[in-house]
């Protein structure tokens, strides 16, 4: 054994570095929550690349390295972070990440991760209970909402009884699915990965709240049938990414039932609302879905990526990658719930469940309720401030924790308004006091806040609006 390898695995140096690292991160957390640091130190991509290219040639301790990563990264724990939909991780979940990265159990088969395999089964059951499913529900965890949606759509397709696409390929008949035109792009991508092509996804227009216009479902369905397409699934968004609009899940569920097609819900962002006593009603009807996915790394304080895939009937999850033409013959596989790779895209997988489980074992699912409810409340506080302000307008009143709004000015045409809003967003990014993002809806540039940090208060929101106005005047 070389001395180098002995040094790399030295127990005492790990202990010392670990203590210093935890101190560093705790100081960072404190400085962020008390706003003693910035949200962001934005650098152009090529400048960033140069810094890290030259870093290797210089003499740095590992702690210097960690410190530079922390200082150069966007700061999710800062109350002025209101950007993309990703959680400021609960510190206990971050500590779990250290445990899982050290243990590094591969998870593909049970023997390579006993505790994490059991936890991966329990989390979808806990979320399934909050959804309102009965004891037959269940699923697994996977690496992100994109992969989770694709997995569920493959499960939906596997239910077609008259042919076995997994074995025989697509054949002549053309399959399609229905989804709101505001759905996350990964649903479109999933349809194309599945070989469904342009006709394989029917985008239903939205109403003035950017929810799927459910009154159009029947018309679009009939049009598809007339074109010789077979609709195998309908996807509800809970909620959409751009405006955070929750589709009318009860109506979509009733439609799916009437047609005997699979009902899938993309709850990557908003699915966590099932834990909120105050806002649970927004997703009434979610319990009708055949499958639901929820990102724990969005509104459940968990580090990325951790996505729960939950089936109303866990039995269905065994059919997705089933090589047996008649999946009914595979029913016995439920005895094999513990060999996760049979049902997931991943073979080797992160011990992701350990992080979410750490939160609920320490604080209960009421921690998720507190988090989701606060974020939804905050969006309403911010939206009210925007509504009261004569120089701003909302795209629509928020249903989730996402608020889209823009600066308006009677003197400017739409093109100039777009430039103004995109320009001040860019200025904000470079300045680093706040982090918000932008989106385009109906050709108009909107500023977009996702209220991800429960420590964001009204005073931060007021200061943000004031800063935006100052930028627009400068």
Ligand X SMILES: Cc1ncc(COP(=O)(O)O)c(C=O)c1O
Asked if 204 and 237 touch (Cβ cutoff 8 Å), the reply is: no
Residue 269 interacts with ligand X (CB under 6 A)?
yes
**Which of 275, 337 has the CB closer to ligand X?**
275
Work out how close the CB of 290 gets to ligand X at its nearest, in angstroms, rounded to a whole number.
Answer: 17
**Which of 295, 316 has the CB closer to ligand X?**
295
What residue spans of 180-265 are helical by DSSP H? 185-193, 217-226, 249-259
Work out how close the CB of 420 gets to ligand X at its nearest, in angstroms, rounded to a whole number.
Answer: 26
**Which of 77, 184 has the CB closer to ligand X?**
184
* Residue of minimal Cβ distance to ligand X: 145
**Which of 128, 244 has the CB closer to ligand X?**
244
Distance CA 343, CA 329 (A): 16
Residue from 88, 145, 303, 398 touching ligand X (CB under 6 A): that is 145
**Which of 302, 317 has the CB closer to ligand X?**
302
Residue 266 interacts with ligand X (CB under 6 A)?
yes
Distance CA 272, CA 263 (A): 18
Strand ranges, E, within 270-336: 291-295, 307-311
3-state helix, strand, coil in the chain (%, to 5): 50, 15, 35
How many residues in total does the chain contain? 474
Beta strands 138-142 and 307-311, pairing class? antiparallel
Angle at 172 between CA 166 and CA 177, to 5 degrees: 70
Residue from 121, 184, 376, 460 touching ligand X (CB under 6 A): that is 184
* Candidate segments 98-106, 139-147, 415-423, 441-449, binder of ligand X by CB under 6 A: 139-147
Peptide bond into 317 cis (omega under 30): no
Work out how close the CB of 267 gets to ligand X at its nearest, in angstroms, rounded to a whole number.
Answer: 8
Residue 448 interacts with ligand X (CB under 6 A)?
no
Work out how close the CB of 76 gets to ligand X at its nearest, in angstroms, rounded to a whole number.
Answer: 15
Distance CA 382, CA 447 (A): 13
Handedness of CA 59, 64, 66, 70 (dihedral sign): negative
Residue 241 interacts with ligand X (CB under 6 A)?
yes
**Which of 183, 351 has the CB closer to ligand X?**
183
Work out how close the CB of 124 gets to ligand X at its nearest, in angstroms, rounded to a whole number.
Answer: 16
Distance CA 288, CA 254 (A): 8
Residue 186 interacts with ligand X (CB under 6 A)?
yes
Work out how close the CB of 446 gets to ligand X at its nearest, in angstroms, rounded to a whole number.
Answer: 16
**437-441: strand order across its sheet:** 392-394, 402-407, 444-450, 437-441
**Which of 359, 407 has the CB closer to ligand X?**
359
**Which of 75, 241 has the CB closer to ligand X?**
241
* Residues from 289 through 348 that contact ligand X (CB under 6 A): 295, 305, 307
Burial of 110 (0-12, 13-18, 19+ CB in 10 A): middle
**Which of 131, 424 has the CB closer to ligand X?**
131
Residue 245 interacts with ligand X (CB under 6 A)?
no
Residue 359 interacts with ligand X (CB under 6 A)?
no
Work out how close the CB of 417 gets to ligand X at its nearest, in angstroms, rounded to a whole number.
Answer: 26
**Residue 316 vs residues 107, 299, 310: alpha-carbon distances, Å:** 21, 26, 10
Among the listed residues 161, 158, 190, 153, the one whose alpha carbon sits nearest the alpha carbon of residue 323: 158
**Which of 290, 295 has the CB closer to ligand X?**
295
* Candidate segments 120-128, 138-146, 223-231, 425-433, binder of ligand X by CB under 6 A: 138-146
Work out how close the CB of 117 gets to ligand X at its nearest, in angstroms, rounded to a whole number.
Answer: 21
Residue 450 interacts with ligand X (CB under 6 A)?
no
Work out how close the CB of 436 gets to ligand X at its nearest, in angstroms, rounded to a whole number.
Answer: 15
Distance CA 399, CA 257 (A): 26
Instruction: Give the three-class secondary structure for 229.
Output: strand
* Residues contacting 180, CB < 8 A, separation 6+: 203, 204, 206, 211, 212, 235, 236, 237, 240, 247
Residues 27-63: b if buried by 16+ CB within 10 A, e if exposed: ebeeebeeeebbbbebeeeeeeeeeeeeeeeeeeeee
**Which of 234, 268 has the CB closer to ligand X?**
268
Residue from 268, 445, 452, 465 touching ligand X (CB under 6 A): that is 268
Burial of 185 (0-12, 13-18, 19+ CB in 10 A): exposed
How many residues line the site for ligand X (CB under 6 A)? 14
* Residues from 52 through 91 that contact ligand X (CB under 6 A): 85
Residue 124 interacts with ligand X (CB under 6 A)?
no
* Candidate segments 165-173, 203-211, 218-226, 265-273, binder of ligand X by CB under 6 A: 265-273
The residues binding ligand X (CB under 6 A) are 85, 144-146, 184, 186, 237, 241, 266, 268-269, 295, 305, 307
């Amino acid at each position: 054994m070389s001395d180098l390898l002995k040094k790399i695995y030295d127990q005492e140096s790990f202990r010392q570095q670990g203590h210093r690292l935890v101190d560093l991160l705790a100081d960072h957390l404190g400085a962020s929550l008390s706003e003693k640091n910035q949200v962001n130190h934005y650098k152009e991509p090529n400048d960033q690349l140069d810094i890290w290219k030259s870093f290797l040639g210089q003499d740095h301790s590992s702690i210097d390295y960690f410190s530079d990563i922390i200082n150069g990264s966007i700061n999710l724990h800062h109350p002025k972070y209101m950007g993309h939909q990703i959680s400021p991780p609960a510190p206990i979940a971050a500590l779990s990440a250290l445990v899982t990265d050290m243990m590094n159990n591969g998870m593909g088969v049970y023997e390579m991760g006993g505790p994490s395999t059991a936890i991966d089964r329990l989390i979808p059951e806990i979320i399934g209970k909050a959804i309102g499913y009965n004891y037959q529900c269940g699923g697994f965890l996977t690496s992100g909402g994109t992969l989770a949606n694709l997995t569920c759509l493959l499960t939906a397709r596997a239910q077609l009884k008259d042919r076995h696409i997994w074995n025989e390929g697509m054949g002549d008949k053309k399959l399609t699915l229905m989804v709101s035109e505001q759905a996350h792009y990964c649903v479109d991508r999933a349809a194309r990965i599945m070989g469904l092509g342009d006709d394989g996804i029917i985008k239903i227009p939205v109403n003035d709240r950017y929810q799927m216009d459910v009154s159009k479902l029947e018309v679009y369905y009939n049009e598809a049938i007339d074109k010789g397409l077979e609709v195998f699934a309908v996807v509800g968004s809970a909620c959409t990414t751009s405006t955070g609009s929750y589709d009318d899940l009860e109506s979509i569920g009733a439609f799916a039932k009437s047609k005997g097609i699979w009902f899938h819900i993309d709850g990557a962002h908003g699915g966590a609302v099932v834990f909120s006593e105050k806002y649970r009603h927004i997703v009434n009807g979610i319990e009708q879905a055949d499958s639901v996915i929820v990102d724990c790394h969005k509104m459940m304080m968990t580090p990325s990526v951790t996505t729960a895939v939950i089936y109303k009937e866990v039995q269905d999850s065994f059919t997705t990658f089933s090589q047996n033409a008649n999946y009914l013959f595979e029913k016995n596989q439920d005895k094999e719930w513990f060999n996760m790779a049979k049902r997931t895209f991943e073979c080797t997988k992160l011990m992701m469940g350990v992080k979410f489980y750490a939160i609920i074992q320490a604080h209960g699912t009421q921690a998720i309720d507190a988090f989701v409810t606060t974020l939804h409340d905050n969006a309403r506080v911010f939206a009210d401030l925007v509504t009261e302000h004569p120089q701003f307008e909302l795209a629509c009143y928020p249903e989730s924790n996402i608020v889209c709004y823009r600066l308006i000015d009677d003197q400017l045409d739409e093109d100039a308004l777009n430039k103004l809003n995109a320009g001040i967003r860019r200025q904000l990014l470079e300045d680093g006091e706040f982090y918000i993002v932008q989106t385009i809806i109906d050709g108009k540039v909107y500023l977009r806040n996702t209220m991800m940090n429960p420590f964001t208060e009204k005073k931060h929101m007021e200061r943000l609006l004031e800063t935006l106005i100052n930028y627009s005047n400068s």
